[in-house]
Chain A
């Protein structure tokens, strides 16, 4: 225990100077906790207005919605919108994702299911059969992140634009 002093008739290890500093630190700590909560609500820690981002303009053959901030071992989502211009005559579209990025993700589901998946050294290519009358077609990848720190994902169409999107994964 800390060394006791005599205050009046009682021996007690009180230290008012330390206590006053403690209270100050405590108040600062509380303010920090509130700031953390506010930042989290805004999406700085993943999921929220600051975190969601879009790539590609309206009308582009490929648009993507992704989260700038992810959390490790937590669900993540990547939504792609494929326009009519990207579709081939047989109503399929080929979308590729960066292989290194995908290797650190667990793919829980892809809606709709791709017809075919093939890989190259740096890409995983998904072939989707889409309905030409309802475009842009929405493709949803439900993922679980297993990466940590800054990562860069890449997505593109075999016959169209490609984008890279930087993300940060919190532990």
Chain B
């Protein structure tokens, strides 16, 4: 009984804490964020397993976590509101060439992040070549370049 409760509580607490951190904290993999993910997994491990090293405990934890994941994804599918709360929504950072600086500040994204994404995906050189830039629910930045006709 203990194991299922532990796994569920840890799942929901992590979900909450990472949602509070914003989607970008998962998406960007700088050394800093990588270390964070590593340390968090170590910190959680002991609390999940405690002193029970049995196979049964391990299986219960895995089944509970995967089961919760399935349950959440079904719930997301049925309710748009739940999906928005759990996943977030995409957000336009640059709309038709115009930068929304307030939104960028709130999302803690700056021009160089957008340029890096633009170079990565579209081979874009300058910010004035960008028509739309979106920070997706996943935390990544996608860019729509200006066509020659724009």
A interface, CB within 8 angstroms of B: 1-3, 7-10, 12-16, 18-19, 22-23, 25-26, 29-30, 33, 73
Contact = CB atoms under 8 A, between A and B. Distances in A.
Given A8-B96, A26-B20, A30-B20, A2 B83 contact: yes
A7 B92 contact: yes
B140 interface: no
Nearest to A1: B83
Interface residues of B, number: 20
A3 B89 CA distance: 10
Given A2-B89, A22-B88, 6 more contacts: A2-B84, A7-B92, A10-B134, A14-B92, A29-B20, A73-B51
B132 A10 contact: yes
Nearest to B144: A10
Residues of A contacting B: mostly: mixed
B78 interface: no
Given A13-B90, A14-B90, A26-B22, A8 B95 contact: yes
A19 B89 contact: yes
B50 interface: yes
A5 to B, nearest CB: 11
A18 B84 contact: yes
- Which of the listed residues A12, A16, A73 has the most CB atoms from chain B within 10 Å of its own CB? A12
14 contacts: A2-B89, A3-B80, A10-B92, A10-B144, A13-B90, A15-B84, A19-B89, A22-B88, A23-B106, A25-B20, A26-B22, A29-B20, A30-B20, A73-B51
